[in-house]
A and B are shown apart, each in its own frame.
Chain A
Amino acid sequence: MTPKGVTLKSNSRKMKFARRFICTLLQMRKPRPVSLSIEEVRARGQRIKIAAYWSMAHAVGSRRAWSRALLFKLRNRARYQTIMRRRSPGLKTKRVIKNDTPGELSQTKKLRQLVPGGKTMDMCNLLEETAHYITCLATQVKVMQTLADNFSK
């Protein structure tokens, strides 16, 4: 039994992701005076990374639990950041959801941390989401690699 048609729409997903990602990149293009300081590059790299994940999650849509969780997290982070900037910077709360099922391996816990939205999934769904997540990550890497190759030449 082939899990859930993961390979069916990979091409369109790649296109969707690439399109969105490039648009985001274009949006992020800074005006001419470009500083090549390491910190700025790093900050921009961080933003590009978030843009990549966001565009990937959007390309997948709401069909997958991990994409929904990722979009939710990004939205919350954006909202959180704006709110936190207005308020005092000392209000940092961290919610820890401990979902301890008996007989769970440590690797399972680690996998839950890696896959977005994996904390509230049972093992069965977690594995399925991991498989889909891996395919999407692979396409993301491929597209970004091609982009990077192109733009660096």
Chain B
Amino acid sequence: MTVLERQRARAKWQQQEQQSYFGGSEFGGLFLEPSQAVQGNFQGLVGGVDSVLGEVAAVLVKPDLSLESGLPEFGRFELSNMGFGSDALINGSTTGFHINSPTSMTSGCPPTVAAVAPEERGKVSVPAEKKSSVAGRESFKKRKADKVQNTKVGAEEDTKDKKSKVSAEEGESKITTEQTSTKNNSSATNNRETSADTSKENSKASEVQKPDYIHVRARRGQATDSHSLAERVRREKISERMKYLQDLVPGCNKITGKAGMLDEIINYVQSLQRQVEFLSMKLAAVNPRLDFNIEDFFSKELFPACSTGFPTTGMSSEMTNPAYLQFNPVQQLVSCCGLEMGMNTPDMAFRRTMSAPLSLPETYLDTSYITQLQPSSTWDADLQNLLNLEFHQGRSTSYASQQLTGSIEASNLKMEI
């Protein structure tokens, strides 16, 4: 087969290049001894790798950065170690590798599915990529590191990891050959990380192999990794939600990491709850004076669109409404328009709440009447004391203090006006 010949020629070329590049490194050593045996074990290895990479063929077209970065490296080491010559894998960084890689893989083995055009494209790009791939091996890693968004996967990917990944892949595809074992040993000894890391990388490598899509069907030889697939999906969901929470909670832009974010979230929720409590205390203090103002406020604030002749515009901001309230004497409002609205809607709302299941504590079910009383807006000494008490109680958070000072200033302004 011309394809095989081409691949072998490529492999030999690659071999020579890498030998010259790395000199007496273990890579060359690795190269020398398996170079012949690789060809013999070509089918087996190809079969093994093909099972792994054949899945990539089933992947839908959505270039995943982690995959792009992961597989090219894998492919590169495939080249280096097994002499595949499928440089098209390295192409993944630039072009859609998912088109190239399976074809390059399949071109080497007994042809399963090989699209001619992509294959040729892969081959065309091969010579161009070869030098860059070999010479820029180190820089490629850096490039890849820039590109990898998935920190979990990218963090573990190093030059050191590649061989372990490769060996992991082979191990997972259940092809144990002398080459893999030797590679395993050499990779293990050759300034590898600890076995714990390699095992972690194995799982990561298998995850890198797999796409991120939930609708991918089961792969052959990868049934055990459905857990890791689901794990990955779950983790990404969680990280997405954490990002959304980061937008919600103010001042969380610089905080990275789950624990810190959770701390901030907890603080924010606690401060909001404390604010609710504080405001409820404030309302309790004011409540005795809750007279007809309520209805005015109710009608005005909640029904900005109602054309009752109120000179208010819309609910552009809550502060403008209260400010506007101050300008009109309350009696005028009451007499003009607030009366009907104020009377009607609380009535209807009353009926609604009364008909609702009486689940509230009994203290809530005191009936009260909508009476028209004169508004009085005076600060009692007790009120002030209460407010100060509540204000200084507990942890003083920026949120509460900001709001309170803002409101106090606004109210002072209104008083002056």
Q: In the bound complex, do residue A150 and residue B240 qualify as a contact, i.e. CB atoms below 8 Å apart? A: no
Q: In the bound complex, do residue B262 and residue A137 qualify as a contact, i.e. CB atoms below 8 Å apart? A: no
Of B85-93, B209-217, B289-297, the stretch lying at the interface with chain A is: B289-297
Type the 1/0 row for B342-355, where 1 means its CB is closer than 8 Å to any CB of A.
00011001100100
- Any A CB within 8 A of the CB of B368: yes
Which residue on chain B has the smallest CB distance to residue A122? B234
Q: In the bound complex, do residue B290 and residue A29 qualify as a contact, i.e. CB atoms below 8 Å apart? A: yes
- Any A CB within 8 A of the CB of B302: yes
Q: In the bound complex, do residue A44 and residue B279 qualify as a contact, i.e. CB atoms below 8 Å apart? A: no
Q: Which of A122-139 contact B (CB under 8 A)?
A: 123-124, 127-128, 130-131, 133-135, 137-138
Q: In the bound complex, do residue B241 and residue A124 qualify as a contact, i.e. CB atoms below 8 Å apart? A: yes
- Any A CB within 8 A of the CB of B382: yes
Which residue on chain B has the smallest CB distance to residue A31? B368
Q: In the bound complex, do residue A23 and residue B297 qualify as a contact, i.e. CB atoms below 8 Å apart? A: no
- Any A CB within 8 A of the CB of B263: yes
A38 to B153, CA, bound (A): 59
A15 to B283, CA, bound (A): 18
- Any A CB within 8 A of the CB of B124: no
Of B27-35, B133-141, B175-183, B358-366, the stretch lying at the interface with chain A is: B358-366
Type the 1/0 row for B242-262, where 1 means its CB is closer than 8 Å to any CB of A.
101100110000000011001
On whether A29 and B266 interact (CB within 8 A), knowing A42-B281, A141-B279, the answer reads: no
Q: In the bound complex, do residue B349 and residue A19 qualify as a contact, i.e. CB atoms below 8 Å apart? A: yes
Which residue on chain B has the smallest CB distance to residue A3? B244
How far does the Cβ of B406 sit from chain A's closest Cβ, in whole Å? 9
On whether A138 and B241 interact (CB within 8 A), knowing A23-B349, A145-B279, A153-B411, the answer reads: no
Choose among B238, B266, B277, B289 the residue that contacts A151 (Cβ–Cβ < 8 A).
B289
- Any B CB within 8 A of the CB of A107: yes
Type the 1/0 row for A20-31, where 1 means its CB is closer than 8 Å to any CB of B.
101111111110
A150 to B281, CA, bound (A): 15
- Any B CB within 8 A of the CB of A69: no
Count contacts between A and B, CB distance < 8 Å.
215
- Any B CB within 8 A of the CB of A82: yes
On whether A45 and B280 interact (CB within 8 A), knowing A38-B386, A134-B248, the answer reads: yes
A84 to B99, CA, bound (A): 71
Q: In the bound complex, do residue A105 and residue B258 qualify as a contact, i.e. CB atoms below 8 Å apart? A: yes
Q: In the bound complex, do residue B322 and residue A150 qualify as a contact, i.e. CB atoms below 8 Å apart? A: yes
Which residue on chain B has the smallest CB distance to residue A133? B269
A28 to B59, CA, bound (A): 63
- Any B CB within 8 A of the CB of A152: yes
Q: In the bound complex, do residue B364 and residue A51 qualify as a contact, i.e. CB atoms below 8 Å apart? A: yes
Q: In the bound complex, do residue A27 and residue B368 qualify as a contact, i.e. CB atoms below 8 Å apart? A: yes
- When distances are taken between beta carbons in the complex, the residues of chain A under 8 Å from B301 are 18, 146
Q: In the bound complex, do residue A124 and residue B266 qualify as a contact, i.e. CB atoms below 8 Å apart? A: no
Which residue on chain B has the smallest CB distance to residue A24? B364
Q: In the bound complex, do residue A45 and residue B377 qualify as a contact, i.e. CB atoms below 8 Å apart? A: no
Q: In the bound complex, do residue B285 and residue A149 qualify as a contact, i.e. CB atoms below 8 Å apart? A: no
How far does the Cβ of B185 sit from chain A's closest Cβ, in whole Å? 33
On whether A153 and B288 interact (CB within 8 A), knowing A51-B364, A78-B359, A147-B283, the answer reads: no
Choose among A45, A47, A54, A146 the residue that contacts B363 (Cβ–Cβ < 8 A).
A47
On whether A111 and B269 interact (CB within 8 A), knowing A47-B364, A124-B241, A144-B283, the answer reads: yes
On whether A114 and B318 interact (CB within 8 A), knowing A41-B386, A151-B289, the answer reads: no
- When distances are taken between beta carbons in the complex, the residues of chain A under 8 Å from B366 are 27-30
- Any A CB within 8 A of the CB of B410: yes
A114 to B88, CA, bound (A): 53
- Any A CB within 8 A of the CB of B237: yes
- When distances are taken between beta carbons in the complex, the residues of chain B under 8 Å from A24 are 353, 360, 364
- Any B CB within 8 A of the CB of A96: no
A28 to B359, CA, bound (A): 15
Type the 1/0 row for B278-315, where 1 means its CB is closer than 8 Å to any CB of A.
01111111111110011001100110000000000000
Choose among A2, A26, A105 the residue that contacts B368 (Cβ–Cβ < 8 A).
A26
- When distances are taken between beta carbons in the complex, the residues of chain A under 8 Å from B411 are 149, 152-153
Q: Which chain B residues have a beta carbon within 8 Å of chain A's beta carbons?
A: 234, 237-238, 240-242, 244-245, 248-249, 258-259, 262-263, 265-266, 268-270, 272-273, 275-277, 279-290, 293-294, 297-298, 301-302, 318, 321-322, 325-326, 345-346, 349-350, 353, 359-368, 370, 377, 379-380, 382-383, 386, 403, 407, 410-411, 414-415
Q: Which chain A residues have a beta carbon within 8 Å of chain B's beta carbons?
A: 1-3, 15, 18-20, 22-30, 34, 36, 38, 41-42, 44-54, 71, 74-75, 77-78, 81-82, 105, 107-108, 110-111, 114-115, 123-124, 127-128, 130-131, 133-135, 137-138, 140-142, 144-153
